[in-house]
Structure 1
């Protein structure tokens, strides 16, 4: 049963942020209001505690949290916000928590958002961020992590890099990703009723603003229609009260059919991007993320022909049990 805190959060969302997604006009108004008060900067306490450095790519800031001494792992974090909203304090709190617990470095691009910019600007920037990471780290040590729209971008960026002939990252962590922006799945339309946050009309307006005129089923904006076989080992977290979940479950099946190892955390009673919100279910979800990433590193070491002399039969198997985890 969902915690009292999660039910309170869902109630607040339904009577506040859900309004942004109710109509295209509402989405436009919320974007205009956000531009007046938004800030992409990390909290002051986090800047000092984590030694955050900043650089520019294409004229946009990229924040860097250095890894703990001895760690080679790097996480490229792509924030959500329907492609039109800036990174928030909730994203920064998640990043800080995971940086503390894992000791990995974090690269956080403040990518150009719509309607001032579009798909081409976004991926031109984040693509170059990843290329620069490849000059500094083994791709097997790089994780693409993203929530909502950022989860979409993580998958699309991997596909684009593979198409370009560049190495793909070692792992994905996708938190409530939006993987089919057509939003036409009948199950999605039904799931919208239970979703306290997202709505189809406003969501489609945000997609229109960023998609540069591409068809909704183009894999560049709806990666569920692309070549999923190029994806790395993936952890996907999705909730039963998220209208994106029906498409996420389809994606999981298609990715597994394509040979991708996917672990699924299904949050019973959970809404969109619940791991970002401070509540009991979020702590459990973050534990799953930490466990997945630590296991992913162990598997990479086992599969490295230079560092491993173990036979194939003695290597640790993929653990399917995580795929049936319910967070309640």
Structure 2
């Protein structure tokens, strides 16, 4: 049974306007244009007291680095975070809160990529950009010290990045963490329709609209935007979190099935009656998911993760 706070937050989700955004694709471009007029949020003051926060331009887009006060531990874990938002929305305040909590819980430093958004940018260039960013971070921290994390569309991008690194024989990241992952831009899984009435954030029509704006000249099944159809062997240890009130639940389940068939042992956490991206919200279940993530990352560093 979800906590009272989780139930109240779920009831209030439509007030955020996200469901309306995804339910009215014919008005999406106008709403995106309006979003672009607003400044992108940055970490609040609390995190500046705990971390040295520096922003720089790398490979054509801003990257925010968070390092624990006093300096990062040599050879310590570094998080690369890719935020969600259907590839068209900017980072939100709750993303910074989640990254800050994970860094505080693990002692890690982090880099948050404010990657170019669709429809102005397309999948081919964006994935190439985050791959170049990973290469730069690997030079600084070592590829085996980097964990790639993402939520929703950012989780899809995280898996696409890990696939490209594996395919090219590049240094393998330490781990991969996927929150409410969007892994199939076709949004064609028949299991999504029965969940849609319960999902108070996403709509199938909106997913398809976002996917088409991000795809450019690529087919929607291209692994750069639908990594569920890409190669899944040779990946680092993976943790996947999903909720049963999220239309992206079938994507997470299909990924787990495919990984298991390959002999992998992903950490999979499916929370009953939890909504899209609940891991990022200030609710008990969200904090539990972040704590489970921190434990997973610590186990990976300790060599005990599958």
The TM-score bracket by the shorter chain reads over 0.9
Check if 1:149 corresponds to 2:150: no
Q: Equivalent residue of 2:65, what SS?
A: strand
1:76–1:145 contact (8 Å) kept in structure 2: yes
Question: Which residue of the other structure, out of 240, 243, 246, is the alignment partner of 2:247?
Answer: 243
2:244–2:271 contact (8 Å) kept in structure 1: yes
* Map of 1:195 onto structure 2: 199
1:188–1:247 contact (8 Å) kept in structure 2: no
* Map of 2:80 onto structure 1: 76
Q: CA deviation at 1:41?
A: 2.7
Report which of the two structures shows the higher radius of gyration computed on alpha carbons: 1
Q: Equivalent residue of 2:141, what SS?
A: coil
2:181–2:251 contact (8 Å) kept in structure 1: no
Q: Equivalent residue of 1:76, what SS?
A: strand
User: Higher mean Cα deviation, 39-48 or 251-260?
Assistant: 39-48
Check if 1:176 corresponds to 2:177: no
Q: CA deviation at 1:20?
A: 0.6
- CA pair 70-220 structure 1, distance change in 2 beyond 3 A: closer
Deviations for 1:217-270, whole angstroms, at most 9, x for unmatched residues?
222211111110121110000000000001210110101212322011111110
> C-alpha separation between the residues in 2 aligned to 1:126 and 1:187?
31
* Map of 2:233 onto structure 1: 229
> C-alpha separation between the residues in 2 aligned to 1:167 and 1:124?
16
* Map of 1:325 onto structure 2: none
Check if 1:64 corresponds to 2:65: yes
Alignment of 1:1-328 (within 5 A): 1-15=1-15, 16-67=17-68, 68-70=72-74, 72-299=76-303, 318=306
Deviations for 1:72-104, whole angstroms, at most 9, x for unmatched residues?
211110011110111111000111111111110
Q: TM-score, normalised by structure 2?
A: 0.94
- CA pair 142-84 structure 1, distance change in 2 beyond 3 A: same
Q: TM-score, normalised by structure 1?
A: 0.88
Q: CA deviation at 1:70?
A: 4.7
2:124–2:224 contact (8 Å) kept in structure 1: no
1:26–1:202 contact (8 Å) kept in structure 2: no
> C-alpha separation between the residues in 1 aligned to 2:107 and 2:305?
25
1:19–1:26 contact (8 Å) kept in structure 2: no
Q: Which runs of 5+ in 1 are unaligned?
A: 300-315, 319-328
2:183–2:227 contact (8 Å) kept in structure 1: yes
1:31–1:84 contact (8 Å) kept in structure 2: yes
Q: Which runs of 5+ in 2 are unaligned?
A: none
Q: Equivalent residue of 2:158, what SS?
A: helix
2:212–2:220 contact (8 Å) kept in structure 1: no
Q: CA deviation at 1:317?
A: 7.6
Q: CA deviation at 1:48?
A: 4.4
> C-alpha separation between the residues in 1 aligned to 2:305 and 2:12?
42
1:71–1:104 contact (8 Å) kept in structure 2: no
> C-alpha separation between the residues in 2 aligned to 1:147 and 1:225?
18
Q: Equivalent residue of 1:184, what SS?
A: coil
Q: CA deviation at 1:55?
A: 1.6
Q: CA deviation at 1:279?
A: 0.7
- CA pair 117-284 structure 1, distance change in 2 beyond 3 A: same
2:150–2:178 contact (8 Å) kept in structure 1: yes
> C-alpha separation between the residues in 2 aligned to 1:267 and 1:28?
33
User: Higher mean Cα deviation, 161-170 or 290-299?
Assistant: 161-170
1:71–1:103 contact (8 Å) kept in structure 2: no
